[in-house]
Amino acid sequence: MSEFLCTTGLPEEYQQLTKSVRDFTRAVVAPVAAQHDADHTFPYDVVAGMGELGLFGLPFPEEYGGMGGDYFALCLALEELAKVDQSVAVTLEAGVSLGAMPIYRFGTEAQKQQWLPDLTAGRALIGFGLTEPGGGSDAGATATTAVLDGSSWVINGSKQFITNSGTDITAAVTVTAVTGRDASGRKEISSIIVPAGTPGFEVGPAYDKVGWNASDTHPLSFADVRVPADNLLGRRGRGYANFLRILDEGRIAIAALSTGAAQGCVDECVRYAKEREAFGTRIGRNQAIAFKIARMAARAQTARTAYYDAAASMLAGKPFKQQAAIAKLVAGEAAMDNARDATQVFGGYGFINEFPVARHYRDSKILEIGEGTTEVQLMLIARELGL
């Protein structure tokens, strides 16, 4: 896969995937995006269509219902979806990289057989219960606890900003919890699968968000929630370390999503600048507008190159933490900068929610916050530089 960086185009299988997702996005996603955004409704039909297309199973083996592809294939799909609807894109991103991937990476064979077939088909979703009200970027400050009582874990605590946690097809949430302390007194953090509907597990009302209005996001609470001891995901005490790996991978996926958002703004502006007339000429002939869009295109291409590079290192089995952080940083800022500039190009129309650039303007800010803030990415990059 790494050879594509020095070629004029992607390998044929990736091109075919990109075209399939682009066609699906235009035919299925785009016509309903504005309405779902306005109504704050979860796009079940669109999610079902993504499942039928195989998008939820892209990076998983066929033995678990997957498509036998790789993580880069997922990234290409996310880029295409995010050009039109970031809510739909993040539903897929969280469903795969934060929901199903921990099961695949760290689960027992029994857990994989139980959960993955429905997850890879898009029939079910699993939330990623990491962030807490008192933690934010400091995931090591986990306060949720899980005590082993006989053959059950008893969980108490809360989580917030959890994507895909309250839909009709949410099957479970994987939560990080303090399960003890080591000899030096440091927290032992483990991850545990909590099925939906377990007594004591409550999903709070959906957040009233600035953007991503068609994405499902809730706070969660756990009051003496009992689940079988076998619901431990991965080794006890490795939950935090395992989720850090998941977040490194997820940053590449979010970078791909951000790149799609940045490119979507370019595409909309190019179309509009060729059609819109002011002062007797099309605005694209105005150098101020043309140069603004040119800078937007440069940002999108830079972001794309960054996430391609990170994905290539990951799939080659090389260290990729720094590349993933750079990709997430560059792409998130590109999406926000392009959304701002696109809104300016569209003028008053850019302030009307039915126009895609207006939704991108509201949606893109979270790309500088979610799955690691810009400041966290800078910290990771500096640390990898030895600073």
CATH code of the domain containing 366: 1.20.140.10
**Contact present, 102 and 249 (Cβ < 8 Å):** no
Confidence at residue 244, expressed as pLDDT on a 0 to 100 scale? 87
- pLDDT per position as a tens digit, 290-324: 999 999 999 999 999 999 999 999 999 999 999 99
Active site residue 371: yes
**Contact present, 306 and 255 (Cβ < 8 Å):** yes
Instruction: Work out the burial of residue 102: count CB atoms within 10 Å of its CB; fewer than 13 is exposed, 13-18 middle, 19 or more buried.
Output: buried
| DSSP result, 158-208 | EEEEEETSSSTTEEEEEEEEEEEE-TTS-EEEEEEEEETT-TTEEEPPPP-
Confidence at residue 312, expressed as pLDDT on a 0 to 100 scale? 96
Q: Where are the alpha helices (DSSP H) in the chain?
A: 12-24, 30-39, 44-53, 71-82, 86-93, 101-106, 109-120, 239-275, 287-315, 321-346, 356-363, 374-384
Same domain for 324 and 342, yes or no, is yes
CA–CA gap between residue 295 and residue 303 (Å, rounded): 12
**Contact present, 311 and 75 (Cβ < 8 Å):** yes
Closest C-alpha to 145, from 107, 166, 175: 175
Query: pLDDT averaged over consecutive 10-residue blocks of the chain (387 residues)?
Result: 53 95 98 97 98 97 95 98 98 97 97 98 96 75 94 97 97 96 89 98 97 97 98 94 90 98 98 94 94 98 98 95 97 98 96 94 96 94 95
pTM for this prediction: 0.94
Same domain for 210 and 143, yes or no, is yes
Same domain for 301 and 172, yes or no, is no
- pLDDT per position as a tens digit, 4-43: 444 357 899 999 999 999 999 999 999 999 999 999 999 9
CA–CA gap between residue 291 and residue 103 (Å, rounded): 46
Same domain for 206 and 106, yes or no, is no
CA–CA gap between residue 83 and residue 121 (Å, rounded): 23
Give the chain's domain count: 3
Closest C-alpha to 162, from 115, 190, 196, 188: 196
Same domain for 146 and 267, yes or no, is no
Domain around 154: 127-238
The C-alpha torsion from 349 through 270 and 15 to 61, rounded to 10°, is -30
Same domain for 137 and 27, yes or no, is no
Q: Is 236 helix (H, G, I), strand (E, B) or coil?
A: coil
CATH code of the domain containing 56: 1.10.540.10
- Of 70, 103, 125, which closes a domain? 125
Same domain for 121 and 132, yes or no, is no
Same domain for 145 and 245, yes or no, is no
- Of 186, 206, 238, which closes a domain? 238
Confidence at residue 182, expressed as pLDDT on a 0 to 100 scale? 84
**Contact present, 167 and 271 (Cβ < 8 Å):** no
- What are the residues whose beta carbons fall under 8 Å from the beta carbon of 176, sequence distance 6 or more? 129, 130, 139, 142, 144, 189, 190, 191, 239, 240, 243
- Of 76, 110, 125, which closes a domain? 125
Same domain for 134 and 118, yes or no, is no
**β-pair partners for 149:** 152
Same domain for 131 and 121, yes or no, is no
**Contact present, 78 and 260 (Cβ < 8 Å):** yes
Instruction: Work out the burial of residue 171: count CB atoms within 10 Å of its CB; fewer than 13 is exposed, 13-18 middle, 19 or more buried.
Output: buried
Same domain for 121 and 73, yes or no, is yes
Cα–Cα separations (whole angstroms), residue 247 to 47, 250, 312, 380, 383: 23, 5, 17, 12, 16
Closest C-alpha to 229, from 173, 147, 156: 147
Structure tokens at 226: 């009992």
Inter-helix orientation angle 239-275/71-82, to 10° = 40
CA–CA gap between residue 215 and residue 41 (Å, rounded): 8
**Contact present, 219 and 159 (Cβ < 8 Å):** yes
Closest C-alpha to 44, from 62, 60, 29, 30: 29
Catalytic residue, from 13, 132, 371, 375: name it. Answer: 371
Same domain for 222 and 248, yes or no, is no
CA–CA gap between residue 127 and residue 93 (Å, rounded): 11
CATH code of the domain containing 168: 2.40.110.10
Angle, vertex CA 315, rays to CA 310 and CA 318, nearest 5: 70
CA–CA gap between residue 308 and residue 302 (Å, rounded): 10
Q: Is 232 helix (H, G, I), strand (E, B) or coil?
A: strand
